[in-house]
Every structure is written in C-alpha cells, then in structure tokens.
C-alpha cells in the first residue's frame, strides 16, 4: 500500500487517505489496505490502536440517504470507500464537550477507474456516519467493532439542530436536492434529533475528553 496523501477535513478527526493505483494498458492494480502501514501512520493517531473486526458492503440506488448511524459497547470506527458509483459521505460530531459538537461535514467520493488514486475516509468513534448517493453505488467499509444491535442508534439527517455551516455549499445543495424526494428508511428518517440524543443517558458514552484520552478519536 502506497499512501499518497492524508487529508484532514473541516472536522480534524476525520481523515481521507489517498492511496496509489498502478496503471498500465490493462487497467490498474491497487493495494488498498495493509495493516502495518495504516496502523502506524503518524498522521492518523486514532488508527494506531485500531483493529478491524467486521467488513460490510452495501448497494444503494440513486437518491438514497443512509444514516446517520453510530454505536457504543463496543465503539465502531469505520474506514469507508466507494467501489462503484458516486457517494457523498456525511459525518456528524456527536461528542458532548467537543468544539465541533453538532456540526456536520460532507465529502465527495465518486469512483472513477481513470483516477491514479483511490480513497478511504476514516470516521473514528464519536461521530455519526451516513451517506447519500448521486448514482447507483456500491460501497464497502471496515469496522473496528462488531455490530451490537442493543447499543446502536442514529440521528435523523433532517433534524433541525444540525449545524451545516462548515459544509461545502455545492454538496449541501446536492443533499437538499435529494431531500425533495429521498429514498430513506423509516428508522433513519424518524431517528432521534440531536437534542434528544443529548438527553439520552447513553450520550454519556460520547464525552469528548474521555474519547480523546482513550485515543479513540
């Protein structure tokens, strides 16, 4: 695995890892994961102690919105990439006491076989994660915790308390366009608001200083 660049996004705990593709007349080859490289990167401290325990793949139709999801006991960090199509990734800070609490960012992740690179986005524990899709798309993600149905929930992406002020305006407008006729599960659409989450006793699992001190975010 050859890492070309590690980008820090508007919320600094969120990283984009760009890796090299080796192209020739046949197409390309890419080693997109090697634990000894990813888990020792000085630019991604929260990956240094991570172990991936589960891998997921999903297919979404154009106009689908998924999320915003998170879990605790165990915590679940996610390393996500687009296999085909066009995903826009969504990350919301849900950590009480965080300087970016309630803020959401969007990152554009279209897949093109013509690029000399591929990308992962790293979403550590402490954040709610989701995506929306501008084309039929397939994505995959590695998880640092196994799915725990009794310790997971989500924030509705439509909740009014979300702060969109640091989002890319063009991507935000694309989200609003999809919202005119979204394809979304009832669970995601009617999920808790940000204020309801703060009032939930389980939000005590997401205290900014505690997660920072544990090296989880």
Quick check: is 141 catalytic?
A: yes
Asked if residue 57 lies in contact with residue 131, where contact means CB atoms within 8 angstroms, the answer is no
Buried b (16+ CB within 10 A) or exposed e, 106-125: bbebebeeeeebbbbbbbbb
Per annotation, catalytic residue among 69, 86, 107, 129: 69
Concerning whether 150 is annotated as a catalytic residue, the answer is: no
Instruction: Enumerate the β-bridge partners of residue 64.
Output: 183
Residue found under tokens 């849900």: 94
Alpha-carbon distance 61 to 48, whole Å? Answer: 35
Choose, from 19, 107, 141, 208, the residue flagged as catalytic: 141
CA neighbor of 17 nearest in space, from 42, 49, 52: 42
Active-site residue list = 69, 141
């Amino acid at each position: 695995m050859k890492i070309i660049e590690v980008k820090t996004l508007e919320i600094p705990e969120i990283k984009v890892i760009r890796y090299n593709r080796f192209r020739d007349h046949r197409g390309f080859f890419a080693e997109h994961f090697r634990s000894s490289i990813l888990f020792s990167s000085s630019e991604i401290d929260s990956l240094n102690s991570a172990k991936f325990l589960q891998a997921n793949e999903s297919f979404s139709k154009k106009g689908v919105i998924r999320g915003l999801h998170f879990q605790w006991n165990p915590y679940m960090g996610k390393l996500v990439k687009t296999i085909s199509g066009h995903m826009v990734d969504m990350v919301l800070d849900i950590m009480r006491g965080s300087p970016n609490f309630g803020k959401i960012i969007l990152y554009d992740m279209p897949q093109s076989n013509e690029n000399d690179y591929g990308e992962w986005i790293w979403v550590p524990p402490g954040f709610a994660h989701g995506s929306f899709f501008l084309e039929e798309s397939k994505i995959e993600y590695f998880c640092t915790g196994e799915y725990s149905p009794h310790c997971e929930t989500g924030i509705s992406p439509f909740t009014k308390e979300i702060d969109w002020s640091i989002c890319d305006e063009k991507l935000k407008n694309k989200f609003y366009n999809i919202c005119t006729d979204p394809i979304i599960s009832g669970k995601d659409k009617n999920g808790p608001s940000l204020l309801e989450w703060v009032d939930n006793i389980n939000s005590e699992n997401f205290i900014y200083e505690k997660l920072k001190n544990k090296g989880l975010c």
